[in-house]
Amino acid sequence: MNEHLIEIIAVVFGSQGLWTLINNVYQERKKKKKKTPFELMVLALVREKLLYLSKQYIKMGGIPEDEVSAFKELYKSYIEAGGNTNVKELGDRASTLPIIFEEN
């Protein structure tokens, strides 16, 4: 039984077709991960905006109520688009700040 299993494994892993398939899948995934110059520019602009807003909110000790949903949506989109760096750390901190309600 073990001999047959070893033979099957050797045939599968020795098969040129399998390695070609694996290589093709890898190359396609690699292509999809590359961002266009436009995507990189948009991420850079959003990164700058999120860093600015996060620092402002942290200084203020909260997020104004009329800015909460826009900030959280922008931050979520940025993370889903593959952005991170120190934006994630500041964005996470800012996201947990209390809401500052406007006094009428």
What pLDDT score was predicted for residue 25? 73
Q: Does position 11 have pLDDT exceeding 70, yes or no?
A: no
Phi/psi region, residue 63 (left: phi>0; alpha: psi -120 to 50; beta: rest), is beta
What pLDDT score was predicted for residue 98? 97
CB-CB neighbours of 50 under 10 Å: 22
Distance CA 77, CA 84 (A): 11
Average pLDDT over residues 27-32: 71
Helices 68-80, 37-60: axis angle to 10 degrees equals 140
Q: Residue 17 — very low, low, confident or very high, per pLDDT cuts 50/70/90?
A: low
* Pair 45, 86: CB distance under 8 Å: no
Distance CA 40, CA 33 (A): 12
Domain ranges for the chain, please list them: 1-34, 35-104
Positive or negative: CA dihedral 70, 95, 35, 31? negative
Which pLDDT tens digit goes with each residue over 39-97? 889 999 999 999 999 999 999 999 999 999 999 999 999 988 888 777 989 999 999 99
- What pTM does this model have? 0.66
